[in-house]
Amino acid sequence: MRTCLIFKTGRLIDFLNSSNEFYEIRENKNDLKIIKKYKDKRGGPFFVTLPKEIKISLEVIGLIVGEGYIGRNFIFANSNEKAIDEILCFLNQFKLPIKTYLEISIKNKQADFKNQCKKFWENHLKIKIKKTRLRGEFNNITKYGTMHLILNNSLVAKLLKQIINLSKIRIEKNKQFSINYLRGIIAAEGNINIKKRTNCIYMVRISASKQEERDHYKKCLKKAGINIYCEDMDTISSEEGIKKGWKTTKGRAGAVIISRWDNFIKIFNLGLLDLNNEKKIKFLKYFLNNKFTKQFLDFKYFLNKEFTMKQAQRYFGFEGRHLNRVLTLYKKGYIFRRKLNKVKFVYKLTDSYINLYNKFKKEGVAN
């Protein structure tokens, strides 16, 4: 069951009152009628009906922080159907109209690509898409275009700003909150980077143009048990990019960089990619090419049996590297050793190894 934060709508609205405008709240049985009134201003008051409580999951908070826009209204744009489903489920509690439009990059695409995208989203969301925006200047990098969800209500937008700001403070202090939140962040802003020479993952980066955003993400990653070893990728403006002689004229957004096998295992174990199937599939495909992942999975032969270093050497048919591998897995807690005498040990795979191996197997990436 998803962990949700619950906010009292009335309390949030109290913070919005000022000397020039204020909100009168009339409580009904199941909701609140909220009337906006002005001092020294003509015209009828604005009113809207909202739920007494606003429930929001940590995953949705992450998605909104990563890909949401909160101004006079609320806009969320994403090409991942899971993310769209999560946001729609959240927005539906307000019982207000939600507008949609589909943005499709059609450069170098076949003529029927627009219809394919439209058909996919109409079938998935069970709606009729009335507005489609075609972008001829960009190559397509999405499977079915980008869906936009729009809730045109300035009061809800103001409440959402408060909810996000209050939630960030709580998330930074709680491990499980951080884990759930990072699922949304990585689904929205995560990128899996592959080294062409080895064809394996060398970093997972979380895009964030502002330093304060990167600092916030690093606090959450640390709380979740993920250590950052690399310096942040700085934001480069289009002008700076041109001066550097880059081919692109768009510059580059900054990012937090997650490196090293141990961190990749934590990303996998914690399910931080579960909100975006495409990213998860890409991650698993190239993570299996990682040298240490292959070495780790090789030890499945010794499941539920004790073995000596000589037996491991004999099985792998190779001395130095595989002997060091036993010691490395031992240091990481995947192998337990028991002393037989002054110089000999017997080894056995631990529950940590078995649990991680079973997770690989469950995902269909281990034989």
Q: Read off the CATH number of the domain in which 312 is found.
A: 1.10.10.10
Q: Are residues 276 and 317 in the same domain?
A: no
pLDDT band at 358 (very low <50, low <70, confident <90, very high): very high
For residue 107, the model assigns a pLDDT of 83
Task: Encode pLDDT of 67-78 as tens digits.
Answer: 999 999 999 999
pLDDT > 60? residue 161: yes
CA 246 to chain centre: 29
Domain of 273 in residue numbering reads as: 173-287
Q: Are residues 191 and 207 in the same domain?
A: yes
Domain final residue, candidates 287, 302, 328: 287
pLDDT band at 340 (very low <50, low <70, confident <90, very high): confident
Task: Encode pLDDT of 203-217 as tens digits.
Answer: 999 999 999 999 999
Q: Are residues 196 and 266 in the same domain?
A: yes
Q: What is the mean pLDDT of the chain?
A: 90
Task: Encode pLDDT of 236-248 as tens digits.
Answer: 877 777 777 766 6
Does 318 map to a domain? yes
Does 348 map to a domain? yes
In total, how many domains does the chain have? 2
pLDDT > 70? residue 43: no
Domain final residue, candidates 287, 319, 348: 287
Structure tokens at 32: 């609140």
Q: Are residues 269 and 317 in the same domain?
A: no
pLDDT band at 344 (very low <50, low <70, confident <90, very high): confident
Does 23 map to a domain? no
Q: Read off the CATH number of the domain in which 191 is found.
A: 3.10.28.10
Does 317 map to a domain? yes
Neighbouring residues of 262: CB distance < 8 A, sequence distance ≥ 6: 227, 332
Does 305 map to a domain? yes
Which of 25-29, 87-91, 92-96, 150-154 bottoms out in mean pLDDT, i.e. has the lowest?
25-29
Q: Are residues 208 and 310 in the same domain?
A: no
